[in-house]
């Protein structure tokens, strides 16, 4: 078997890159792992979001904004390629503040982000409670809600539909996808290309992209890339289907197009453990009720957990190996928001064989700086 | 569709189903009473608005959801009747706060 590019991992990151390569007529094979692997793509909350992201890393703020900008076209083209509607709404997004202190912290954060970006017009605003009520007259907010920040470009999608659409789009654009196949070895083939081994099979490729989420560390080490990543657990609740009442998603609370309400999400670090906990369910419920008390009697139908893929500064790693040119790694949190950028500029770069200067800041060498004593 | 094998004894209760009084016995579930009605269905589904009636009668299938005393999405197979209870068949998606 031969391919121009093999992408290891077909979660939302690998699948977006592979889909982007296929749309550029690159002969691409995406190799996906087993059903029981840790799959952040299957546990995602589904926000397409820029508000509040990228503090102290302007390159990430730029990347996120660029991706959000691309999302309307990206989702339309993906629907065309896959015949799957990913339920994307650029509805705007809210970050609810439950105290005046929270409100001020949020304002300060957004202001700092804005100043770090430089030049651009402010595209967010702080809403006091009455402005929030005017924006969402169908929602009865809890008494602790003092206001919110509002980002008009933020929005939401159905992450499971997104993943299916990327897989279908990849196939329909001429790419190949192998499921249930855990890659155990990647090495140089001695003539500038790579051999990728999975099960008892092997495939040759001119280039290889490691986008295997938490499985990326071990694979990247085989091509001379040491990437520091760790799991962080996040838990989410989902309710029964309700008549539409929440047209604008909030951080941690959104209504899907089907009517269910998703309530997220927690952060803790139990290692490679994606079990759910009663404590998290209680905490999430209580937090949602402070925002929208009328959810009180609503039935929860499911709780799940997923593992985020985090680097030490929680920003992505995009890098090409120095010792193995042609081997790339792409790992990140926020694979849904970044999917449009991954399918465009990252796929373009990998097709061209080198990462652009705009992605320099994401090389994992940023973690190599010796720690001060 | 269904009928009781015996006549309800003295002490029978009355519940209200969509405005129609229905006889019930202490200890039986709301779903059991629904199944004895001329219209035995409990809800219309949120997606296709098709009819569903109590099915598993043991808290598993969620087809018997209805509004009981103002609270929607109650599993009526798990809810014993009481006198004067008001039951409304649930139509499509529940509304927040109901």
What ipTM, to 2 d.p.?
0.84
Whole-number pLDDT of residue A355: 96
Whole-number pLDDT of residue A373: 53
CB contact under 8 A, A242 and B96: yes
- Do A224 and A236 fall within a single domain? no
Number of compact structural domains in chain A? 3
What are B40-62's pLDDT values in tens digits? 999 999 989 999 999 999 999 99
Is A243 touching B (CB cutoff 8 A)?
yes
Is B95 touching A (CB cutoff 8 A)?
yes
Dihedral (CA of B20, B24, B30, B32) sign: negative
Is A241 touching B (CB cutoff 8 A)?
yes
- Do A73 and A15 fall within a single domain? yes
Pick from A259, A294, A299: which is nearest to B97 by CB? A294
Q: Is residue B54 part of a domain?
A: yes
CB contact under 8 A, B94 and A298: yes
Give yes or no for residue B10 having a pLDDT over 70: no
Residue range(s) defining the domain that contains residue A223 = 2-83+159-228+313-367
Q: Is residue B85 part of a domain?
A: yes
Q: Is residue A296 part of a domain?
A: yes
- Do A187 and A330 fall within a single domain? yes
Count of beta carbons in the 10 Å neighbourhood of residue A8? 26
Q: Is residue A251 part of a domain?
A: yes
Domain end among A124, A152, A180: A152
Using DSSP, state whether A188 is helix, strand or coil. strand
Pick from A243, A292, A299: which is nearest to B93 by CB? A243
Q: Compute the residue count for chain A.
A: 373
Domain end among A310, A334, A357: A310
Q: Is residue B81 part of a domain?
A: yes
CATH code of A246's domain = 3.30.9.10
Q: Quick check: pTM over 0.90?
A: yes
Q: Is residue B98 part of a domain?
A: no
| Ordered per-residue pLDDT tens for chain A, 373 residues | 789 999 999 999 999 999 999 999 999 999 999 888 999 999 999 999 999 999 999 999 999 999 999 999 999 999 999 999 999 999 999 999 999 999 999 999 999 999 998 877 788 999 999 999 999 999 999 999 999 999 999 999 999 999 999 999 999 999 999 999 999 999 999 888 999 999 899 999 999 999 999 999 999 999 999 999 999 999 999 999 999 999 999 999 999 999 999 999 999 999 999 999 999 999 999 999 999 999 998 999 999 999 999 999 999 999 999 999 999 999 999 999 999 999 999 999 999 999 999 999 999 999 987 655 5
Dihedral (CA of A276, A50, A156, A142) sign: positive
- Do A56 and A6 fall within a single domain? yes
Chain B partners of A259 at a C-beta cutoff of 8 Å? 46, 93
Q: Is residue A372 part of a domain?
A: no
Q: Is residue B20 part of a domain?
A: yes
Q: Is residue A196 part of a domain?
A: yes
Contact predicate A284/A235, CB 8 Å: yes
Whole-number pLDDT of residue A228: 95
Q: Is residue B8 part of a domain?
A: no
Whole-number pLDDT of residue B6: 82
Contact predicate A258/A251, CB 8 Å: no
Q: Is residue A257 part of a domain?
A: yes
Q: Is A298 exposed, middle or buried (0-12, 13-18, 19+ CB in 10 A)?
A: buried
- Do A204 and A321 fall within a single domain? yes
Number of compact structural domains in chain B? 1
Whole-number pLDDT of residue B65: 96
- Do A240 and A270 fall within a single domain? yes
- Do A170 and A77 fall within a single domain? yes
Whole-number pLDDT of residue B96: 86
- Do A255 and A303 fall within a single domain? yes
Give the CA dihedral A130, A131, A132, A138, nearest 10 degrees.
80
- Do A98 and A224 fall within a single domain? no
Whole-number pLDDT of residue A159: 97
Q: How far apart, in Å, do the first and last CA atoms of chain B sit?
A: 30
Q: Is residue A373 part of a domain?
A: no
How close is the nearest chain B Cα to the Cα of A258, in Å? Answer: 8
**Beta-ladder partners of A47:** A156
Q: Is residue B2 part of a domain?
A: no
Q: Is residue A88 part of a domain?
A: no
Is B20 touching A (CB cutoff 8 A)?
no
Pick from B72, B73, B93: which is nearest to A259 by CB? B93
Q: Is residue B5 part of a domain?
A: no
Domain end among A152, A168, A186: A152
Whole-number pLDDT of residue A208: 98
CATH code of A216's domain = 3.50.50.60
Pick from B92, B93, B96: which is nearest to A295 by CB? B96
Whole-number pLDDT of residue A152: 96
Is A299 touching B (CB cutoff 8 A)?
yes
Is B96 touching A (CB cutoff 8 A)?
yes
CA–CA distances in Å: residue A337 to residues A13, A49, A171, A305: 10, 6, 22, 19
Residue range(s) defining the domain that contains residue B41 = 13-91
- Do A261 and A237 fall within a single domain? yes
CATH code of B36's domain = 3.10.20.30
């Amino acid at each position: 078997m031969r391919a121009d590019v093999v992408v290891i991992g077909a979660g939302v990151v690998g699948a977006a890159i592979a889909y982007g390569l296929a749309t550029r007529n690159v002969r691409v094979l995406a190799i996906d792992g087993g059903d029981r692997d840790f799959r952040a793509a299957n546990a995602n909350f589904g926000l397409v979001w820029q508000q509040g992201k990228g503090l102290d890393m302007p390159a990430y703020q730029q990347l996120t904004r660029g991706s959000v900008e691309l999302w309307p076209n990206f989702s339309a083209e993906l629907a065309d390629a896959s015949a799957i509607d990913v339920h994307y709404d650029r509805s705007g997004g809210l970050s609810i503040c439950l105290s005046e202190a929270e409100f001020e912290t949020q304002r300060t954060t957004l202001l700092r982000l804005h100043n770090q970006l430089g030049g651009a017009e402010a595209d967010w605003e702080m809403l006091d409670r009455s402005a929030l009520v005017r924006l969402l007259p169908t929602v009865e907010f809890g008494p602790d809600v003092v206001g919110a920040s509002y980002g008009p470009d933020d929005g939401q999608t159905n992450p499971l539909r997104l993943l299916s659409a990327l897989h279908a789009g990849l196939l329909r654009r001429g790419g190949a996808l192998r499921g249930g196949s855990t890659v155990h070895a990647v090495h140089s083939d001695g003539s500038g290309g790579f051999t990728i081994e999975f099960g008892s099979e092997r495939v040759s490729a001119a280039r290889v992209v490691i986008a295997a989420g938490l499985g990326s560390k071990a694979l990247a080490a085989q091509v001379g890339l040491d990437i520091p990543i760790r799991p962080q657990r996040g838990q989410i609740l989902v309710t029964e289907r309700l008549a539409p009442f929440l047209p604008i998603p909030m951080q941690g609370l959104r209504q899907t197009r089907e009517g269910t309400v998703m309530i997220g999400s927690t952060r803790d670090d139990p290692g490679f453990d994606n079990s759910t906990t009663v404590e998290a369910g209680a905490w999430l419920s209580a937090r949602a009720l402070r925002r929208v008390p009328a959810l009180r009697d609503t039935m929860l139908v499911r709780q799940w957990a997923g593992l985020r893929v985090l680097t030490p500064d929680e920003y992505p790693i995009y890098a090409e190996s120095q010792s193995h040119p042609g081997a790339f790694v792409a790992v990140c949190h926020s694979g849904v928001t970044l999917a449009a950028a991954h399918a465009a500029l990252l796929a373009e770069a990998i097709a061209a064989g080198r990462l652009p200067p705009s992605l320099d800041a994401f090389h994992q060498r940023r973690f190599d700086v010796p720690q001060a004593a | 569709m269904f009928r009781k094998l015996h006549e309800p004894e003295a002490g029978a209760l009355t519940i209200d189903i969509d405005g129609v009084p229905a006889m019930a016995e202490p200890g039986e579930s709301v779903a059991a009473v629904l199944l004895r009605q001329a219209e035995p269905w409990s809800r219309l589904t949120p997606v296709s608005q098709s009819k569903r009636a109590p099915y598993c009668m043991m808290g598993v299938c969620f087809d018997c959801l209805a509004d009981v005393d103002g609270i929607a999405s109650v599993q009526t197979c798990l809810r014993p009747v009481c006198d004067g209870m008001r039951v409304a068949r649930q139509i499509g998606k529940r509304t927040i706060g109901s």
